[in-house]
Structure 1
């Protein structure tokens, strides 16, 4: 992180993250006046209506939500959210945090405040048994969120905290120390939390507490309340706060969080057609930024914080937990919308049902997926291994279309452009970068749990990817169901699932299906195939385990309680699945320093991969003939160690003793 970005004052950081919202530091008189107004303009009185203006006089949550279900995208509208008028000792609803490179960032979410109540909240931490106030911050309207940033944070110990408002309201939790001494780092992979099923989620929370993840990753659609984000976000917080209160949490908003049925952000432009397939955002910038601020301000500072068009903020960044480095992407923010750019070949611009279409005809020059800024970030991230032993990429949705049936079990769709399998060329570029770090990809969005091995030029030459199931799947069902009902070539041996193996998705991408969790009956709460994923990164063995747990499972049952086909264990190095044609000399490092090693093809300067060596010995592999350079360094490949190397059979490649 560049020094001038990480050293922002709290107020300046808030202004940067909430660009387009106007001044945040308002005196009480101006604050009351602003709260009495429609904050997003007279054209959008429905936006956050349950938490704005004279919210307490609007008849409660049920009355406020009446009629808000119309036009909510997939399926019917949600049920009423919880009431916003709560006892005043309960106004601090929940908090989420992360810490990175000595900076703690925490977001506290409050219920709406009433006239005369303080618009300030405090953060206290406990040291040596004594509570100490360490920060104060303004509560932001609209949104009622508050943000604390502490620098010089000591991540070597657990620290109790509490967010306070007034005399009696508080929310308590634990800021966990960085688990860098743990051999295995555990991540919960979650998404798609149906607002149609209200109430708490004890069946999920109890299991997560038993599994005790080091990091929570919510990949999007934390709420489906569309125009009522604050109410929906508080509802989500009530459902998951018992697990979020005491561990770092990543929440990245997806389409439904910002009120869309689908989202192609196209660098922030304004969307003007129903369904939003023209690209951009349909609601005011202030509302989009509020959603992103509430959900993602607690993340480490953006690596490239410049807003996109119209002042919409960005949050793509990185977070290291226990030596596992997570690149956090915004795979909706820069993606091109299909309408007007490719021929329409289905009932709507983003759905293709024409069996005669050629996928190459929609992979057009200039179409974007991650966008140039995020591609640049990924390229830099793959080469920086500071404090890192393994890597993973986190985003909203999958880099393929691993699904056949959409909405109903008999509604087949050939290709869905809403997934990251389109556009294909930038999809391949993204996977090539992920492969260069031998990283896995974790995501959600699809309402269908799937583990795949991505293919770029050949089947299986890309990284592994795990799409989590919907947490609560009462919005939209999906199924993996090949039309010929046959497995693909190279099916998984002894799999309990009939349709594994190599397939082309509807966009022509090569994918190898390892496991999928079809819902047996989408109308039965116990058979909707909802749940969550758990991913285990073992730093000693360099293995990654994907687990997939049904919503109503009992983790005490062990592996047999998981969906059929899981758990799946993969080697970190297998995320680069290219065919090996030879080896360079085995590298033996004198000081056993576990350096970072990079292999570069001299012909064109292509970086094959950059990884941290384990145990001080490493034999580079290559995938074609020619000459290669080996670079190395403590945390980055800082210097050329060997040049002009040519591949040989492994036993003939020899050995080189080196010092970094």
Structure 2
């Protein structure tokens, strides 16, 4: 007999725990994303408890010699059928402007279990108290709490509870505004072919104690089973996620793609998805984004893109570091059908005779107008205690890779990176440069530090691409064809191929450090690891560190990948040639104001920066007249026009009173 909703209405009229047996029985019988997609979330929907044979065994990812698999598909995920006092798997949070947003991920619930989660906190000197409760969403089994009026100046233990016994505990950290150095961990690309704990990475991170965790994408490669993969990721990293603010953004593999050009919410129709848009149903895409990124601070421009796909680009300030969090896939144009195919795939170029300018066509988008507008406004706004700025996104604004997939597989250009389209890339980098901000990302499976060029070498901001956390899927190498350093190599570097180069898309980049894998088949030599970035607010310096996965930081190991650490000055994120100096500004009535400099002939905002102390002398990059605006958190209090540059020691000074 065919199971229909009409039949269910006859046989299951009772209500159970606020939800009808009808809806639950119907959900068990029908794939949650329709008959066309029976394999989406199959391990965590329907009668999932009867699918235990698919659960991983302790050695499911080992070969006969006990080595981790490096080929084939993902090994089996953890069992979803856990003891019922363990159904709250993990939780993670951010706080911004008095709003706490905390997400919890549960294992799948059974039909007779309530779908409600509760958030409890224990302020100093008080007992545990419940401050919120919320629905456990299906499919996905995620729960989300928003608490307004949150006091970010105090450490507060929390726990997420389900039923009588299940709970997950952590600590909501106070905003470390008093710390001189704020530390960010930069991570991405967590292979699902190597299952089990990430003990070595978590132990290192706990020893290094970063203030912010940034997971830049590909947290799981279980393309059609995001909830199972997300739970697996949570089991691996929950002991570091539980007690510090975490930024998590999905990348292509998280939403089930090998690569993603979101085309502002379009629908992909071809293998490889290079025509742009999303492969799977909108409900699945939104579920993935909700599970990974709902907890981020509220989006300043929350309108969904086409087909009602949600957005999450936003900003967050921790310890005085103001992060712009971007979606560098969602608005990007797909190459198939837009440019001639010049390689085995629409997104791979191997024709050495091609002209990079020929594929930088009008109408191609990278970040899109909405995010460009957001970046432009963010670069000039230092409210919320912002002292220094940083940009976070999934992938790099250049193609700093030569070998793809194997040490002999040379590729001229990869359109999956943010080096294409070049005009969109340059617009994004100009906005980032205005804030004197570095850019952090992952995705490439190859750790590099580059200095971007826009019009010329070195005039743009720095970018740090983290290595893959665990890379058993796709190796990449930096390996110039002539095996020679470029002009202006890094002095005394242990790496042979630093200096100025153009990537395969014609973008100027200066290579400062790279971490090539020695042997992609040996997990000890794959160059797996993570990045740490130290923002020193007093010295105005930023240090990029790159740590191998199997380093023993907790035991005193200080060995980073060769070529690291790399330390830069904050103002070096704007590398334009200085043509002169404006009068030194001497501030009365305020310390550490925001200063904006505008070139009058073009109306171009050169930069906006929070200065230190009561003196600042603006530098400029042309000989014409300039306007300087100042303010406490935005450049909105006073304006000085018609200022002409002079040699630094002849520019004089101006008193600025507040």
Per the alignment, residue 238 of structure 1 pairs with 235
Q: Return the offset for 1:31.
A: 4.4
Q: Return the offset for 1:28.
A: 3.8
Q: Return the offset for 1:76.
A: 3.0
Quick one: distance in 2 between partners of 1:27 and 1:116? Answer: 10
Per the alignment, residue 83 of structure 1 pairs with 79
Quick one: distance in 1 between partners of 2:487 and 2:599? Answer: 32
Q: Return the offset for 1:30.
A: 5.1
Local SS of the residue matching 2:143: strand
Paired residues of 1:121 and 1:165 also in contact (CA < 8 A): yes
Paired residues of 1:629 and 1:640 also in contact (CA < 8 A): no
C-alpha distance 600-557 of structure 1, shift in aligned 2 (>3 A): farther
Deviations 1:403-444 (A, max 9, x none): 000000000000000000000001000000000000000000
Paired residues of 2:551 and 2:557 also in contact (CA < 8 A): no
Q: Return the offset for 1:225.
A: 0.3
C-alpha distance 278-126 of structure 1, shift in aligned 2 (>3 A): same
Local SS of the residue matching 2:400: coil
Q: Return the offset for 1:555.
A: 1.9
Per the alignment, residue 358 of structure 2 pairs with 361
Quick one: distance in 2 between partners of 1:60 and 1:284? Answer: 27
C-alpha distance 75-622 of structure 1, shift in aligned 2 (>3 A): farther
Query: Does 2:108 match 1:116?
Result: no
Aligned with residue 89 of structure 2, among 89, 93, 98: 93
Q: Return the offset for 1:642.
A: 1.1
C-alpha distance 559-391 of structure 1, shift in aligned 2 (>3 A): farther
Per the alignment, residue 500 of structure 1 pairs with 498
C-alpha distance 489-271 of structure 1, shift in aligned 2 (>3 A): same
Q: Return the offset for 1:187.
A: 0.4
Per the alignment, residue 9 of structure 1 pairs with none
Local SS of the residue matching 1:268: coil
Deviations 1:475-520 (A, max 9, x none): 1100000000000000000000000000000000000000000000
Per the alignment, residue 249 of structure 1 pairs with 246
Q: Return the offset for 1:34.
A: 4.8
Quick one: distance in 2 between partners of 1:645 and 1:655? Answer: 11
Per the alignment, residue 350 of structure 1 pairs with 347
Aligned with residue 460 of structure 2, among 462, 468, 471: 462
Deviations 1:434-489 (A, max 9, x none): 00000000000000000000000010000011000000011110000000000000
C-alpha distance 600-164 of structure 1, shift in aligned 2 (>3 A): same
Per the alignment, residue 627 of structure 1 pairs with 625
C-alpha distance 179-31 of structure 1, shift in aligned 2 (>3 A): farther
C-alpha distance 601-536 of structure 1, shift in aligned 2 (>3 A): same
Quick one: distance in 1 between partners of 2:555 and 2:349? Answer: 42
Aligned with residue 412 of structure 2, among 408, 411, 414: 414
Paired residues of 1:161 and 1:173 also in contact (CA < 8 A): yes
Quick one: distance in 2 between partners of 1:537 and 1:33? Answer: 53
Q: Return the offset for 1:62.
A: 3.8
Query: Does 2:270 match 1:278?
Result: no
Per the alignment, residue 53 of structure 1 pairs with 46
Query: Does 2:324 match 1:331?
Result: no
C-alpha distance 351-61 of structure 1, shift in aligned 2 (>3 A): same
Quick one: distance in 2 between partners of 1:54 and 1:612? Answer: 56
Per the alignment, residue 62 of structure 2 pairs with none
C-alpha distance 397-34 of structure 1, shift in aligned 2 (>3 A): farther
Per the alignment, residue 305 of structure 2 pairs with 308
Per the alignment, residue 35 of structure 1 pairs with 27
Per the alignment, residue 425 of structure 1 pairs with 423
Paired residues of 2:203 and 2:554 also in contact (CA < 8 A): no
Paired residues of 1:75 and 1:476 also in contact (CA < 8 A): no
Aligned with residue 402 of structure 1, among 400, 403, 419: 400
Quick one: distance in 2 between partners of 1:182 and 1:600? Answer: 32
Per the alignment, residue 485 of structure 1 pairs with 483
Q: Return the offset for 1:558.
A: 6.4
Paired residues of 2:56 and 2:75 also in contact (CA < 8 A): no
Quick one: distance in 2 between partners of 1:269 and 1:433? Answer: 26
Local SS of the residue matching 1:149: strand
Deviations 1:622-643 (A, max 9, x none): 0011110000111001044311
Aligned with residue 538 of structure 2, among 537, 540, 547: 540
Paired residues of 2:55 and 2:80 also in contact (CA < 8 A): no
Q: Return the offset for 1:80.
A: 0.5
RMSD, matched Cα: 1.4
Moved more, 402-411 or 584-593: 584-593
Paired residues of 1:405 and 1:480 also in contact (CA < 8 A): yes
Quick one: distance in 1 between partners of 2:591 and 2:71? Answer: 55
Per the alignment, residue 152 of structure 1 pairs with 149
Moved more, 48-57 or 549-558: 549-558
Local SS of the residue matching 2:307: helix
Paired residues of 1:451 and 1:465 also in contact (CA < 8 A): yes
Query: Does 2:172 match 1:180?
Result: no
Quick one: distance in 2 between partners of 1:557 and 1:303? Answer: 43
Per the alignment, residue 138 of structure 1 pairs with 135
C-alpha distance 162-425 of structure 1, shift in aligned 2 (>3 A): same
Q: Return the offset for 1:63.
A: 8.8
Paired residues of 1:107 and 1:147 also in contact (CA < 8 A): yes
Paired residues of 1:400 and 1:419 also in contact (CA < 8 A): yes
Aligned with residue 602 of structure 2, among 598, 601, 604: 604
Moved more, 220-229 or 589-598: 589-598
Aligned with residue 648 of structure 2, among 647, 650, 655: 650
Quick one: distance in 2 between partners of 1:188 and 1:176? Answer: 16
Paired residues of 1:35 and 1:142 also in contact (CA < 8 A): no
Quick one: distance in 2 between partners of 1:438 and 1:79? Answer: 43
Query: TM-score w.r.t. structure 2 length?
Result: 0.94
Local SS of the residue matching 2:264: helix
Quick one: distance in 1 between partners of 2:554 and 2:140? Answer: 40
Local SS of the residue matching 2:72: coil
Aligned with residue 44 of structure 1, among 37, 46, 50: 37
Per the alignment, residue 60 of structure 2 pairs with none
Query: TM-score w.r.t. structure 1 length?
Result: 0.94
Paired residues of 2:52 and 2:79 also in contact (CA < 8 A): no
Quick one: distance in 1 between partners of 2:131 and 2:402? Answer: 53
Quick one: distance in 1 between partners of 2:592 and 2:624? Answer: 27
Paired residues of 1:559 and 1:567 also in contact (CA < 8 A): no
Per the alignment, residue 379 of structure 2 pairs with 382
Paired residues of 1:60 and 1:84 also in contact (CA < 8 A): no
Per the alignment, residue 71 of structure 1 pairs with none
Structure 1 unaligned blocks of 5 or more: 1-24, 65-73
Local SS of the residue matching 1:49: coil
Structure 2 unaligned blocks of 5 or more: 1-16, 58-69
Paired residues of 1:265 and 1:335 also in contact (CA < 8 A): yes
